[in-house]
Amino acid sequence: MAVLVNNLQDEIPVSVELISLLEKIGAFALRLEGVGPQGEVSIVLVDNSHIHELNLTYRGKDSTTDVLAFNLQDSCTNSDEDTLLGDVVISLEKAAEQGSALGHSLKREVAFLAVHGILHLLDYDHDSDAAEQEMKEKQEMILNNFNL
């Protein structure tokens, strides 16, 4: 399985270590959820203005957000043939702001957002208390596995 990381911003420096972490934690989450070796996810790192534009265009929300997940699987796709599960778009500026406010490192916050987005691609949601609790527990288990 492949987790492809693409940095499209220049506001926050991105280390090789961060890219490697995102690849590893993404692959771990996919394996944990039973995604086969053909599964592929793209993680795109952007700035606030880019994610704001995406949020407005695709969700009708005129605001900056931290992470967006674009699922490319639907009822018409065959998961055995279609390998690209979707894209996770993360604003590094927003991640830095949130991490600082929460007392987390940028590395931890970006890893959390990546896992959160990947779980959304795998049909996890937080639209009810039970679903939100299940998603939180899964996120924390994955992050703990990487000592984050």
* Domains, the chain: 2-145 (3.40.390.30)
- The rounded mean pLDDT for the chain is 92
Q: State the pTM of this model.
A: 0.92
Q: 118-146 burial by CB neighbour count: b if 16+ within 10 A, else e?
A: bbbbbebeeeeeeeeeebeebbeebbeee
Q: What's residue 48's pLDDT?
A: 98
**Cβ proximity of 39 and 30 under 8 Å:** yes
Residue range 67-88, pLDDT digits in tens: 999 998 765 444 455 588 999 9
The pLDDT of residue 8 is above 60: yes
Q: What's residue 77's pLDDT?
A: 46
Instruction: Could you list the beta-strand ranges (E) of the chain.
Output: 2-7, 40-46, 67-71, 84-91
Instruction: Could you list the beta-strand ranges (E) of 62-130.
Output: 67-71, 84-91
- In order of 35, 38, 42, the CA distances from 141 in angstroms are 17, 24, 22
Q: By percentage, how much of the chain surpasses pLDDT 70?
A: 94
Q: By percentage, how much of the chain surpasses pLDDT 90?
A: 83
Q: Categorize the per-residue pLDDT at 119 as very low, low, confident or very high, splitting at 50, 70 and 90.
A: very high
Longest Cα–Cα distance of the chain, Å, equals 43
Give the pLDDT mean for 98-115: 96
